[in-house]
Structure 1
Amino acid sequence: MYANSTGPYSRLEDHHAMSGPNYDPLPLTTDHRDDVPYNTPLSPRMSGVHSPETDHLHLHDDLPPGAARPRFMGTALHDDGPQPRESYASSNTSFPVVDDYNSSVYGLNPDNQAAQQRDNSYYSLGYRDDPHDSDFRGSPNPVAMKNNPRRMWIIGGIVLAAIIVIVAVVAAVLTVVHHNSSDSDVSGGASKGSKASGTSSGASPTATSKGSQALAVTGGDGSTVTTDNGTTFTYSNSFGGYWYWDENDPFNNGARAQSWSPALNETFQYGIDKIRGVNLGGWLNTEPFISPALYEKYLDAATPAIDEWTLSVNMAADTANGGLSQLEDHYKTFITEQDFAQIAAAGLNWVRIPLPYWAIEVRDDEPFLAKTCWTYFLKAIQWARKYGIRINLDLHALPGSQNGWNHSGRLGTINMLNGPMGLANAQRSLDYIRILAEFISQPQYKDVVAMFGVTNEPFAPTFGQENLARYYMQAYDIVRTASGTGEGNGPFISFHEGFMGLSNWFGYFTNSDRTSLDLHPYLCFNAQSADPYSARDTEPCTTWGANQNASMSAFGLSTAGEFSNAINDCGLYVNGVGLGTRYEGNYTGGPWPVIGSCEQWTDYQSWDASLKQDIQQFALASMDALQNWFFWTWKIGNSSVTGKVESPAWSYQLGLQEGWMPADPRVAAGTCGNTAPWQPPLQSWQTGGAGAGQIPATFTSSYAWPPTSISGGGAATDLPTYTPTGALPTLPAPAFTKSAGGTVDAGSGWLNSADNTGMNVAIPTCNYLDPWIGNAAPPSPLCGAAARRDTVPDPVITPPPS
């Protein structure tokens, strides 16, 4: 997560004076100013904003036992100055309503506007006479109808009879008989044999059966849903959404989350259709403040649980309570199918799912529970498909750690693109990107897993924007090799801005095929304030809006992959285990002034209606300013000590239940004033159209892989690297069995059979350090005489893109 403010940080060059809170300085360094040598400490002017520390000794050695390095402390430049938020209430207008014979949209829209917007119109299940609908059949001739009353009566009678028949059929189809079979491990992905629009070959809603019992395959508000383990619940969605699941056609993409969101078998128009999403943080990639009960159990251990590494070590030793399998118990219960139904009912159409690299494999002494969370990601695909929700898959934890924070798997040092194992860990990370890309780009999954965040929060201030751009360029080539180019082939590729600020990426990846920038803006880790929500409810507008507009124009699709309602750092383990809070003045690494007690900010049960309304106003301002967003996070688990949520400002689900999150996120449109909104559409190449994939050769050569040198390591030729000779661990697909017998093709796990280069593995005659080593000298001698090493080009100085 990432704290954005108006302070100067991300652009390391002279800039107009900006006002902002004071921050504790850090020994940051830079390598992307022409007049400043690499590793030169930043001046006070450049380090006046609090960001994740880059020096292990700066904050870590004085931490108390069990304390975690703070997770969310980065900040980037608000380089356009405070301006009113500029948003665009995106929609697709339907045809003008001329008279009551023109379209049923006239009758379905209560305000009967002359031009209707998708966000304000209601696509009722079963209607097929909207001019926007692919099955539109036209409307009757009003003059002919008026002049022939007898014909009107005849046609009316026919229509009435048809309606009676349709109602009877639909009622039969939507009758749900309880599924009494045993628990199933069925999981699944996207549209089998999908057409260009993603339409499944078996899209018509028909009843399926389990033995002699009929099961509904689709339903809207008030229908009964049967889950894959046989339990049932009532689907409540007042926004016109409908679910769809047929075990005989498990890759059918017929579901729609809401009337205004394109169904999975329809095109999502990026830049026009809004991404209103939520993270499923802490589920498959655990974090102490999201799932505190997991960690509280081992706080008194010899090595307290402060990240998933130490949690896994403690669990593995705790055989009396199930050992490491306790993590699977968490996967089973923390997020379930009903969460996906509730997310659609909340007006949300996307989920961002953090996934760690150990979903694929672990090596050496890495203690993580390997491969198991992949099984639950497959379930997430099935549930998202069932309720019409798209997935942004985010590779959240990489070998060696890309940022040194607890959510990367292990708290400590940065070892990806940094340090003596920085290049080897990057090679390994790129392999995992490739394995995931090959799976999710298959036709069965591509319409559901529609976006791929290739690396969460890489900390470029440590290893440099140039090397991050090289890594991103290689990741881009890998994903497009797996999926092919052009709209409809493979996912949108999301690049986190690496704490450099959005504007520092303008000019990069021009003409790339469907790439987007990811920003994680937070206000809560800046200087703390006693001001209430009512005094800060326009801050998101003035802090974030203009930057998002500029990035949508200059780069392309720009999303807020994370943001929350928090305006201070109060909350159990929000900064990490044992770190305290800035707000209460006990934050490790201070001193920080005491602002007050955090109790008022965490005791949500005492919040009155006025405070909840103020928090909701802050949420609306954030949504409007950020335009395309994923709230962090859907759910915060209860503390095992207090029995309740201790970080309430971070939970979308709790906010809905308690009344401080909007029941309909569309009402956010216009909150910031819309004084100068970004105007769609995106350029053609930005959405996979004409020119997509034609990145200038000057850029690809300037940012070729591998890097010539690694921060904290030296010349790439002097560092350990792997060789691509290992067997590729293809990800398994789910298994489906039809009710009438037979199986379903769920894909091989690998789309491009020509993409057959081996996995990067250790060279037998070479010496390697621990991938999580931190600062150390490269091994010497590096390799035996018989070792073959990949050629690394001589170092070159590359100018930034114009």
Structure 2
Amino acid sequence: MASQQNTPYYPVDSGDVHQDGLPVDPLRSYTDNPSPTYERPQDPPFDPDGFSANDLVHDGVVRPRFLGHATGGARGSFASSFGVQSTLNDADNSSSVYALNPLVNRDSGRYSSVPYQDDPHDSDLAAGSVSSGTRNKYLEEKRDTYAPPNKSKRKMIIVAIVVGVAVAAIGIVVALYFTVIKKNGKTSDALGNNNNNGNGNGNNNPNNGNGNNNNTTNNILKSGGNGSTIHLDNGTTIIYSNPFGGTWYWDPDDPFNNNAQAQSWTPPLNQSFKWGTDRIFGVNLGGWLVTEPFMYVLHSPSLYQKYQNAATPAVDEWTLSQNMAADTASGGLNQLANHYSTFITEEDFAEIAGAGLNFLRIPIPWWAIEVRGDEPFLPRVCWTYFLKAIQWARKYGLRINVDLHAVPGSQNGWNHSGRLGNVNFLLGPMGYANAQRALDYIRVIAEFISQPQYSDVVVMFGVLNEPLGSPLIGAAQLEGFYKAVYDTVREASGLGEGKGPVISYHEGFQGLGHYSGFMANADRIALDWHPYICFGSQSSNPITSYATTPCTTWGQTINQSMTNFGMTAAGEFSNAVTDCGLFLNNVGEGTRYEGTYTTGGPYPSQGSCTTWTDWQSWDQTMKQGTLQFALASMDALQNWFFWTWKIGPSSVSGQVESPGWSYQLGLANGWMPTDPRQASGVCGNTSPWSPPLQPWQTGGSGAGSNIQSSTLQWPPTSISSGGLLAALPSYTPTGTIVTLPGPTFTDYSSSTVKVDVGNGWENPSDSRSMYVTISGCSYLDPWCGPTATAPPVCKGTSKKRAYPPPPGVTPRP
């Protein structure tokens, strides 16, 4: 836990000395390199919140824990369906002028802003202040500055002051009336107080005890910590609960400010995340912008249950969209917009940071960009909510891994790919054309998130969720596509740290070991692994029997991948040890556990799923066993994203039917850790991977040069179930480039703030047109399946795209 020992300290003068006796440098501005952090001496070793001495700094870097030898391999993921301290409020209840903050609690690493108080709202201006004698030093300077004038001039000066104050007061009242009261129809309930000027200078000292700041936008707070009042963008307020030193920041007049920090151990957004050293404690926002049947929504009736008995039951977002479009009485396809606006809200982001989590993995589909042909999806609307996600993540200091969860033709045939059924990505007669189109959508997303307005928040890009590389697509075809993706993303972003996202590749169910040495020297690539144990053979053993299963099954695998490949993270895992859960295996499918699953098998019944789904009846043993499994999983995986943050209740039972998959539900009921750092050491530390990563793996020296990729070919000469590429349909790069629009920011007085949100395209030299159908040629349906017969090869006349640019999407300038 390196960042727990590395607590930022912001001194004033170069001669200052840290509480621990270490010299410190002057405070640096936002435009300088970030202020350094200092490691406190570890003699004797401290042990806050149960951390052991094994958490100590080793060779200047805190060692992650891990792990012993593995005794088995992880099961392949079938994702959603198959085929630390005290709050110290009292210490913080003051404002800071000079930010000379003494250490209040050595074990927690928290610094108080007790010195130098000059806030009329503070109840005790003397307590803890740096003073001269018994007088407050800062107030003394004020008294000296505003000493009484000579008696001969005193009366005249007093009259002048009174007149001036009266005139100023009248002006202020008039201005406030027309700019705040008149426009908003209401007044604010809080006055912000903070010495942070909101200009992005990187100074993270926002708290004055209530989390209030000196900055205001019409008397709305701009920043705060634990216990502060937050104005949400829906007009309501909440009290921020974050006991981990996190600070939120939002100034609508400066919407790209990156001062926020999720927790004290996580770098603020205006500082680099140290891959391999800083830890990813993440959660997925599954079921939000890509719907899945088993996740439902928070309003009744739920999306999928409503159409379960339709002529064509809703089993994926394709059939859900068709049913919704026909259901005009309920709002038609726009019902999805209601889902987007209610299932995940800003308050979820605040809760996620307050739960000690620092990363979000957000699945998005290709229809966030456009739709073509008969694709029934609601186009582009979910993109506007992804923009909200970026804004909310920035506000609470969270980083985003954007995950392309669905591509044309389907990369795995599962419901979360958009359409349940066949694999038509890099497989079958339309496999290459669908891959061309997917590569374009990856390019559009990469160009957007590589813009400087977004690159510090969206720092990772999962380019393809769970492709069936093994056994269907094939290793050579998938890895050739991955090399093409790398070239595409890096053309958009450039090379080196801070230049666009880390590129995250799912291992395609080929195993992490398959990628040993893959694309060595490539700039900032990572492996994505989804270890689940619930989609294979089932057992009626109690949850307590799984206490060390993640340690022995996953730990050594991760260690080896970190050594032999580089940055490796678990993009998905859950607390489920059985496949119990309504619709978990698709709508209308049963479960392996109860012996009713209709695909594969046979699966002998292990009993009733009620034991695993009726969480209201779980006793303390069940909850503690689930918590132990969660902690072991987190410790073994090191860098992880739990699937998922939230499961909505069933519209039939009114209850969450898949409790092993909801982080939020586990937090509320005691089977998820209130501090993810509690997982450290659960598995032991017999064979740790030691940071740091190689320089080129983090965007340093050598990144992007002499990439070992000579065996990776794109386009491939042939694809499975399709044959030679020369005989297959393909698209031509003659279409209009589609760009993604940026957000529109509105301040509290309802006037549009004019800020540069980017044009959606980071690299203007990236000017190749998009892949579209060749005019005059016929094509198979993109979901035709691998056994369809390809039409005769057609060169056609590639003069214009077959589909017009979708309305409302900004063309590239």
TM range (shorter): 0.7 to 0.9
In the other structure, the counterpart of 2:680 is 669
Rounded to whole Å, the distance in 2 between the matches of 1:620 and 1:386 is 28
Rounded to whole Å, the distance in 2 between the matches of 1:106 and 1:474 is 42
Return the offset for 1:776: 3.7
Return the offset for 1:208: 5.7
In the other structure, the counterpart of 2:237 is 232
In the other structure, the counterpart of 2:504 is 494
Alignment equivalent of 1:338, drawn from 332, 344, 347: 347
Identify if the C-alpha distance between structure 1 residues 708 and 242 changes in structure 2 by more than 3 Å, giving closer, same or farther: same
Return the offset for 1:779: 3.6
Deviations 1:564-619 (A, max 9, x none): 00010001111111110011111113321110100011000001122111110000
Rounded to whole Å, the distance in 2 between the matches of 1:287 and 1:164 is 62
Identify if the C-alpha distance between structure 1 residues 655 and 547 changes in structure 2 by more than 3 Å, giving closer, same or farther: same
Rounded to whole Å, the distance in 1 between the matches of 2:23 and 2:539 is 54
Rounded to whole Å, the distance in 2 between the matches of 1:179 and 1:270 is 49
Q: Tell me the secondary structure at the aligned position of residue 219 of structure 2.
A: strand
Rounded to whole Å, the distance in 2 between the matches of 1:164 and 1:639 is 63
Partners of 1:471 and 1:705 within 8 A in 2:
yes
Rounded to whole Å, the distance in 2 between the matches of 1:610 and 1:164 is 62
Rounded to whole Å, the distance in 2 between the matches of 1:706 and 1:594 is 46
TM-score normalised by the chain length of structure 1: 0.77
Q: Tell me the secondary structure at the aligned position of residue 700 of structure 1.
A: coil
In the other structure, the counterpart of 2:72 is none
Partners of 1:476 and 1:493 within 8 A in 2:
yes
Identify if the C-alpha distance between structure 1 residues 396 and 103 changes in structure 2 by more than 3 Å, giving closer, same or farther: same
Identify if the C-alpha distance between structure 1 residues 452 and 179 changes in structure 2 by more than 3 Å, giving closer, same or farther: farther
In the other structure, the counterpart of 1:618 is 629
Return the offset for 1:154: 3.2
Alignment equivalent of 1:154, drawn from 114, 119, 132: 132
Alignment equivalent of 1:318, drawn from 303, 322, 327: 327
Return the offset for 1:179: 13
Q: Tell me the secondary structure at the aligned position of residue 347 of structure 2.
A: helix
Rounded to whole Å, the distance in 1 between the matches of 2:594 and 2:271 is 50
Higher-Rg member (1/2)? 2
**1:452 corresponds to 2:452:** no
Unaligned runs of at least 5 residues, structure 1? 1-87, 140-151, 166-176, 184-197, 790-802
Letter in 1 for 2:380: K
Bigger Cα displacement from structure 2, 372-381 vs 89-98: 89-98
Rounded to whole Å, the distance in 1 between the matches of 2:23 and 2:668 is 37
Identify if the C-alpha distance between structure 1 residues 723 and 646 changes in structure 2 by more than 3 Å, giving closer, same or farther: same
**1:472 corresponds to 2:482:** yes
Return the offset for 1:266: 1.2
Return the offset for 1:199: 5.3
Identify if the C-alpha distance between structure 1 residues 488 and 531 changes in structure 2 by more than 3 Å, giving closer, same or farther: same
Q: Tell me the secondary structure at the aligned position of residue 794 of structure 2.
A: coil
Q: Tell me the secondary structure at the aligned position of residue 518 of structure 1.
A: strand
In the other structure, the counterpart of 2:608 is 597
Partners of 1:91 and 1:272 within 8 A in 2:
no
In the other structure, the counterpart of 2:744 is 735
Deviations 1:502-554 (A, max 9, x none): 00011211000000000000011121111111111100000000000000011
Alignment equivalent of 2:711, drawn from 679, 702, 709: 702
**1:422 corresponds to 2:443:** no
TM-score normalised by the chain length of structure 2: 0.76
Rounded to whole Å, the distance in 2 between the matches of 1:591 and 1:737 is 57
**1:386 corresponds to 2:399:** no
Rounded to whole Å, the distance in 2 between the matches of 1:671 and 1:542 is 12
Alignment equivalent of 1:689, drawn from 700, 712, 715: 700
Rounded to whole Å, the distance in 1 between the matches of 2:564 and 2:743 is 40
Identify if the C-alpha distance between structure 1 residues 204 and 741 changes in structure 2 by more than 3 Å, giving closer, same or farther: farther
Rounded to whole Å, the distance in 2 between the matches of 1:715 and 1:654 is 50
Deviations 1:705-732 (A, max 9, x none): 1111011101010011101110011101
**1:721 corresponds to 2:730:** yes
The correspondence of residues 294-305 of structure 1 with structure 2, limited to 5 A, is 294-305=303-314
Rounded to whole Å, the distance in 2 between the matches of 1:232 and 1:703 is 53
In the other structure, the counterpart of 1:571 is 581
Letter in 1 for 2:132: I
Rounded to whole Å, the distance in 1 between the matches of 2:41 and 2:723 is 66
Return the offset for 1:781: 2.5
Alignment equivalent of 2:542, drawn from 532, 550, 571: 532
Alignment equivalent of 1:373, drawn from 382, 407, 422: 382
Letter in 1 for 2:768: T
In the other structure, the counterpart of 1:256 is 261
In the other structure, the counterpart of 2:780 is 769
Rounded to whole Å, the distance in 2 between the matches of 1:162 and 1:403 is 71
Partners of 1:89 and 1:670 within 8 A in 2:
no
**1:266 corresponds to 2:276:** no
In the other structure, the counterpart of 1:554 is 564
Return the offset for 1:450: 0.5
Return the offset for 1:353: 0.2
Identity %: 57
Unaligned runs of at least 5 residues, structure 2? 10-16, 25-37, 48-55, 65-83, 116-129, 144-179, 187-198, 207-212, 801-813
Partners of 1:552 and 1:558 within 8 A in 2:
yes
Deviations 1:634-679 (A, max 9, x none): 0001000000100001000000001100000001000001111110
Deviations 1:386-445 (A, max 9, x none): 000000000000000000000000000000100000000000000000000000000000
Letter in 1 for 2:561: S
Identify if the C-alpha distance between structure 1 residues 746 and 163 changes in structure 2 by more than 3 Å, giving closer, same or farther: farther
In the other structure, the counterpart of 2:655 is 644
Rounded to whole Å, the distance in 2 between the matches of 1:364 and 1:163 is 73
Letter in 1 for 2:622: L
Return the offset for 1:229: 2.2
Letter in 1 for 2:569: T
Identify if the C-alpha distance between structure 1 residues 434 and 264 changes in structure 2 by more than 3 Å, giving closer, same or farther: same
Q: Tell me the secondary structure at the aligned position of residue 256 of structure 2.
A: coil
The correspondence of residues 187-226 of structure 1 with structure 2, limited to 5 A, is 213-226=218-231
Partners of 1:202 and 1:252 within 8 A in 2:
no
Letter in 2 for 1:600: T
Partners of 1:103 and 1:129 within 8 A in 2:
no
Rounded to whole Å, the distance in 2 between the matches of 1:110 and 1:605 is 46
Bigger Cα displacement from structure 2, 153-162 vs 303-312: 153-162
RMSD: 3.6
Rounded to whole Å, the distance in 1 between the matches of 2:581 and 2:515 is 33
Letter in 2 for 1:428: R
Alignment equivalent of 2:289, drawn from 284, 308, 315: 284
Letter in 2 for 1:762: T
Q: Tell me the secondary structure at the aligned position of residue 350 of structure 2.
A: helix
Identify if the C-alpha distance between structure 1 residues 608 and 767 changes in structure 2 by more than 3 Å, giving closer, same or farther: same
Bigger Cα displacement from structure 2, 731-740 vs 251-260: 731-740
Return the offset for 1:109: 11
**1:506 corresponds to 2:516:** yes
Return the offset for 1:201: 8.3
Identify if the C-alpha distance between structure 1 residues 372 and 179 changes in structure 2 by more than 3 Å, giving closer, same or farther: farther
Q: Tell me the secondary structure at the aligned position of residue 534 of structure 2.
A: coil
Partners of 1:767 and 1:782 within 8 A in 2:
no
Report how many residues are paired: 661
Rounded to whole Å, the distance in 2 between the matches of 1:650 and 1:616 is 13
Letter in 2 for 1:381: I
Partners of 1:182 and 1:229 within 8 A in 2:
no
In the other structure, the counterpart of 2:448 is 439
Deviations 1:755-779 (A, max 9, x none): 1110100001222100111024444
Q: Tell me the secondary structure at the aligned position of residue 265 of structure 1.
A: coil
Rounded to whole Å, the distance in 2 between the matches of 1:466 and 1:522 is 25
The correspondence of residues 403-422 of structure 1 with structure 2, limited to 5 A, is 403-422=412-431
Return the offset for 1:227: 1.1
Return the offset for 1:99: 7.1
Rounded to whole Å, the distance in 2 between the matches of 1:325 and 1:623 is 38
**1:755 corresponds to 2:775:** no
Partners of 2:774 and 2:795 within 8 A in 1:
no
In the other structure, the counterpart of 2:373 is 364
